[in-house]
Structure 1
Amino acid sequence: MAEKNVANVEEEKITLIDVLKLVSPGTVLRTAIDDILRAEMGALIVVYSDKVNEIMEGGFSIDTLLSSQKIVELAKMDGAIIVSEDLKKIMNANVMLVPNISIKTEETGTRHKAAERTAKQAGTLVITVSERRKKITVYNGHLRYILQDTDEVLSRAVETLQILEKQREIFNELLSNLNLLEISGLVVVGDVCSVLQRIEIIMRTAKTMEKYLIELGREGGVIKMRLRELLKNIDREKSLILQDYETKEDTLDEFGFDDLLESENIANLLFSSSSDTKIAPKGYRILSKMNLGKKETNRLVEHFKNLSDILEASPKDLVEVLGEDTETFNKEVTSLKEQIMMAKKI
């Protein structure tokens, strides 16, 4: 990520995630600013852009490879440190920044005012380290964010991970129940909505984790591995459920979190019916658990229309679709039903 030219990216396309990646633990910049903070010093670091030239005064040129040690030493001077767009070189030090004072800023300190105005005027990344507040603030265009203490972020990440683990347990139970109902032909809209609701909660919680993990950098390695395990097959199950019940994938994006917690809201949005309305899956998801190719699965669904009719089809009808693979299919269906009845994971 250090090779990303921040100043060349259009301001509106820069997100907090982009910025956090550049200053996450383990990067040269983060090591430097953490060392400056521990040394109880202040600093003002600016990523170069053509517009930065317009607001630079004084200082001296260095043009040396960027390292955390050099940044710490140069921070002992009062002026700003200018680093290259690719974050590989230190270009200037002890620079005075004179951005347009008419640019609005919510900051109070001289260094932070200059930093925010520079970020807005030059459309680039600016980092300030406050020796008095003991805080690191990053600006990029109109974006402002105070970097959190790594231990605090780690604590929040662990708490969020525990929530995800519990949500995954609930999801697994709901999915097992849906499996049973689908092979029994007893599904109602509410059963499908409960699973989709839980998937959406998991995915939204995982997005919160993304910011924590980027801010943690290398410190979040173990949590990242666990998150990957918890999200395994979630997208696939969601896609197959939506295909089974002919609903749109992005529809739930319209919901706020409070609306999402009401299953009846989901039922109305996705199916335009109440939660207790009976509904039949086409069978794509259950059939995906068998050794069937995509063509065979599509032929079965096209011929029989729904899962119940597929499972109850006579050998004669199945032969028309599967040919010599009918016997193998029937054995797999029997085995799959037994696993589902015993609430085994499939």
Structure 2
Amino acid sequence: MGEELRHQIEKGVINFLDVLRIVSPGTSLRAAIDDVVRAGMGALILVEADGIEDVIDGGFKVDCNFTQQRLIELCKMDGGIVLSGDLKRILYSNVLVVPDHTLPTQETGTRHKAAERIAKQLKTLVIAISERRKKVTLYYNQSRYELTNTEDILRRTNETLRILEKQRELYDELITNLNVSEITGLVALSDVCSVLQRIQIILKMEDLLKKAVVELGQEGIIVRMRLREIMGDIDKTKHLILKDYTGNSIEIIEEKLDELDFHNLLDTTTFAKLLFDSSPESSITPQGYRIIGKTSLTEQEINSLIKHFDNLNSLLESDETDLIKIIGHKAVSFTQDLKKLKEQIMMGKKV
């Protein structure tokens, strides 16, 4: 996070994923933490913030460059350690931490109680290492997170990736079916809902994996690459489907989608009622943004066509003369693109 870390912590503008990056595998801080755990030692590590000197007592001022070895050596003492906001220096060691004891805490151990209260009081990052349980707990503002062993995260992440790959295969089948339905003018609301349901499930799984990738640090590079491959253009497809079937209500629909849990996502009737206020069996006609977007037309030309023809069915039934009036000489190449696109879709090919 560099020089900005201290200011971001003080302003409370970093999220918990940023906090996880600070202690992810591959960082000097994480290497030191792992060594402390392996050595069977406990520790209380605070990141500097406004008011830090009001909550520490005793100890001694170190003010030296941060190194993995120095932190490990200082953790051999009982007191807390204070790091600079940019994590480049060790400021204090062996300090007694005296937070506001009126602040509520869910912890039972003395070290972890102090850590939670300091994090809440100063809105900073505090790391507590339990020598008995060999566990590392992060506290930032009101948040608490227990670090998981890297091998366990990798195992769980690989399992989730396999499930995500299967979901992607199901999505590809559903989007192929929707392509055929749109080209033939036989779209049922259930076709649209099935694709959107699968997209939302995939996006929720992506969020879980993104968090794991951050926590894995350098160990998560391959997972990050595979996740990017699986996701492809799903976000763009979702936006175009919503544009095709909801018009100007995209933001409202997206908010509703984000609020759905896995249970409601799997119930097509509830899904269709909530998003479209209709039954899954209802017929529905796309405007055509997604399908026409696969041709060589510009966005402006696509908008002009859809504004004129109103929907995809009418556009597909038009002749070249009608098209020339709107997109001029490009009508010929567009007609050829559309013919080729129809053939690919009807053959079940991915477009």
The answer to whether the 8 Å contact 1:7/1:125 transfers is: no
Once residues 188 and 25 of structure 1 are traced to their aligned partners in structure 2, the CA distance between those partners, rounded to angstroms, is 48
Match of 2:250 in 1: 248
* Whole-angstrom distance in 1 between the partners of 2:330 and 2:342: 18
Aligned-partner Cα distance in 2 for 1:315–1:91: 75
Q: What is the CA-CA distance between 1:103 and the residue it aligns to? A: 2.8
Question: Are the counterparts in 2 of residues 245 and 281 from structure 1 also a CA contact under 8 Å?
Answer: yes
Does 2:219 correspond to 1:214?
A: no
2:295 to 290, 312, 323: 290
Count of aligned residue pairs for this structure pair? 346
Aligned to 1:310: 315
Residue 226, structure 1, aligned to residue 226, structure 2: yes
Aligned counterparts of 2:115 and 2:339: Cα–Cα separation in 1 = 68
- Corresponding residue for residue 322 of structure 1: 327
Deviation at 1:58, TM superposition (A): 1.2
In the TM superposition, what are the counterparts of 1:156-305 in structure 2 within 5 Å? 156-246=156-246, 247-249=249-251, 250=254, 251-305=256-310
Provide the TM-score with structure 1 as the length reference: 0.95
1:87 aligns with 2:92: no
* Paired residue type of 1:264: T
The CA deviation at 1:331 is 1.3
Once residues 29 and 275 of structure 2 are traced to their aligned partners in structure 1, the CA distance between those partners, rounded to angstroms, is: 47
Instruction: Report the identity percentage.
Output: 50
Choose 314-323 or 176-185, whichever is displaced more: 314-323
Match of residue 104 from structure 2? 104
Question: Alpha-carbon deviation of 1:217?
Answer: 0.7
SS in 1 for 2:250: coil
Amino acid at match of 1:192: V
The one-letter amino acid paired with 2:167 is Q
- Give the Å deviation of 1:284: 0.8
Structure 1 residues 168 and 215, CA gap change in structure 2 (3 angstroms): same
3-state SS in 1 of match to 2:144: strand
Q: Which amino acid aligns with 2:30?
A: R
- Is 1:126 the counterpart of 2:94? The answer is no
Whether the aligned pair in 1 keeps the contact of 2:8 and 2:14 (CA below 8 Å) is no
Q: What SS does structure 1 have at the residue aligned with 2:329? A: helix
Structure 1 unaligned blocks of 5 or more: none
Distance in 1, matches of 2:286 and 2:135, equals 54
Report the residue type matching 2:285 in the other structure.
A
Cα deviation code 1:42-92 (max 9, x no counterpart): 111111123221121111111111111110111111111110011111001
Give yes or no for contact 2:244–2:289 (8 Å, CA) kept in 1. yes
Deviations 1:217-249 (A, max 9, x none): 111110000111111110111111111112424
Q: Is the 8 A contact 1:7 1:123 kept in 2?
A: no
Verify the 8 A CA contact 2:61 2:91 in the aligned structure 1.
Answer: yes
Distance of 1:281 and 1:105 partners within structure 2? 53
Q: What is the Cα deviation at residue 10 of structure 1?
A: 5.8
CA drift at 1:115: 1.9
Letter in 1 for 2:176: S
Describe the SS at the equivalent of 1:78: coil
Separation in structure 1 between the aligned mates of residue 219 and residue 312 of structure 2, nearest angstrom:
47
**Residue equivalent to 2:338:** 333
Post-superposition offset of 1:20: 1.1
Q: CA deviation at 1:297?
A: 0.9
Rounded Cα–Cα distance in structure 1 between residues aligned with 2:98 and 2:116: 12
Deviation at 1:140, TM superposition (A): 1.7
CA distance in 1, matches of 2:112, 2:68: 22
Q: Give distance in 2, aligned partners of 1:10 and 1:262.
A: 44
TM-score computed with the length of structure 2 as normaliser: 0.94
| CA distance in structure 1 between the partners assigned to 2:69 and 2:153 by the alignment | 25
Letter in 2 for 1:330: T
Separation in 1, partners of 2:108, 2:7: 25
2:212, 2:324 → 1: CA distance? 54
Q: Tell me if the contact between 2:47 and 2:124 (Cα under 8 Å) persists in the aligned partners.
A: yes
1:31 equivalent in alignment to 2:31: yes
**Aligned-residue offset at 1:118:** 2.1
Aligned residue type for 1:248: I
Deviation, 1:25, is 0.9
**Unmatched tracts of structure 2, length 5 or more:** none
SS at match of 2:295: coil
Counterpart amino acid of residue 154 in structure 1: L
Distance 2:187 2:261 in 1: 26
Q: Is the 8 A contact 2:9 2:49 kept in 1?
A: no
On the 8 A contact 1:8/1:49 being kept in 2, the answer is no
Tell me by how many angstroms 1:315 deviates: 2.1
